[in-house]
Structure 1
Amino acid sequence: MRAPSPADLQRLALLIEAEAIQLREFVALLEREEALLVAGDTDALLTLTKDKTDRYRQLQRLADDKALHLGRLGRSNADASIRELCAGLPRVLARWDEVLELARNARERNTLNGKLITERMQHNQAALSVLLSAANHPQLYDAAGQTRPTGGGRILGSA
């Protein structure tokens, strides 16, 4: 394990700052996703899904870069390692605390949105089941609005 140079610490600080910015934007996307799920706006959800996937990939690249940088310094990609390296950098530690809080917030919102999606899918499945059931047992009405039994008539195209 080598002692980090000022450039190493600056690189780590920049990665943490970039991660905080990306996480703030990711949480904002999750908040929009929640609102769209509640509103049932599926068209807007499709557009948002692409943005969410792109943002997630950017966050993953940043996390990978940070892990690689810490590995080069002989440190693990863990909270304790970052706190040790940034012990004399209170602003960087504050930003790191923000990253951890944003990550918790994102995880909670993503879990909630997953539950909302599951609820929506169950509702849609129930509605689809009702429609399919009705399609298999059509009720025909006479001129007076009374139901009448199906079948028993001549099949079209038969003699």
Structure 2
Amino acid sequence: MSVNLQPELQRLVQLIDSEAVLLRGFLALLEREEALLLAGDADSLLVLTREKTERFHQLQRIHNDRALLLGRLRRPNTDAAIREVCEPLPDSLRRWDEIHALARDAQARNELNGKLISERLQHNQAAMSILLDAARQPQLYDSAGIARPGGGGRHLGSA
């Protein structure tokens, strides 16, 4: 990066660099989330969710800062405008391309994790249904552990 860059361009380069770093970290969180979902580690997922939310908010702030900066340069916050402004900066353009690739990877991994969450939820709901149905069945053993015959007995409130 040239030392002679105007302040707006320097700031844009910093934002692109920061976004790439944050997206790499976000992708790593999504990878951890997948591993925790597969392991069924709900407690760790709760902690990870907080980290993921904070990282998302950081990425959103970068996006907003970039939009404001491009607005001051009288440009829209689009891929084409960023490419035009960063044309003399090949390193920044490569990083911008990396951001696009990371964003695609993050979207795909997030969709996969959503499917894993859905599957886990369906499994848990099925297990709960089985447990609730079992709870409605008459007990086969009394409190002393002695087998009781099923059915044919008198129901409470009957004479």
The normalised TM-score by structure 1 is: 0.88
The aligned residue for residue 96 of structure 1 is: 96
Q: Distance in 2 between matches of 1:147 and 1:58?
A: 63
**Cα 1:147/1:17, change in 2 over 3 Å:** farther
Residues 2-151 of structure 1 mapped to structure 2, 5 A cutoff: 6-141=6-141, 147-149=149-151, 151=153
Gapped runs of 5+ residues in structure 2?
none
User: What letter is aligned with 2:150?
Assistant: R
Gapped runs of 5+ residues in structure 1?
none
3-state SS, counterpart of residue 140 of structure 1: coil
3-state SS, counterpart of residue 75 of structure 1: coil
Residue 141 of structure 1: how far off its partner (Å):
4.3
- Count of aligned residue pairs for this structure pair: 153
- Which region of structure 1 is more displaced relative to structure 2, 132-141 or 16-25? 132-141
How large is the RMSD of aligned CA atoms in angstroms?
2.2
Residue 144 of structure 1: how far off its partner (Å):
7.9
Residue 146 of structure 1: how far off its partner (Å):
7.0
- Any conservation in 1 of the 2:67–2:76 contact (CA below 8 Å)? yes
The aligned residue for residue 152 of structure 1 is: 154
- Any conservation in 2 of the 1:36–1:44 contact (CA below 8 Å)? yes
* Cα deviation code 1:25-52 (max 9, x no counterpart): 0000000000000010111101101000
- Any conservation in 2 of the 1:140–1:149 contact (CA below 8 Å)? no
Q: Which runs of 4+ in 1 moved over 6 A?
A: none
User: What letter is aligned with 1:100?
Assistant: H
User: What letter is aligned with 1:152?
Assistant: R
- Percent identity among equivalent residues? 59
The normalised TM-score by structure 2 is: 0.88
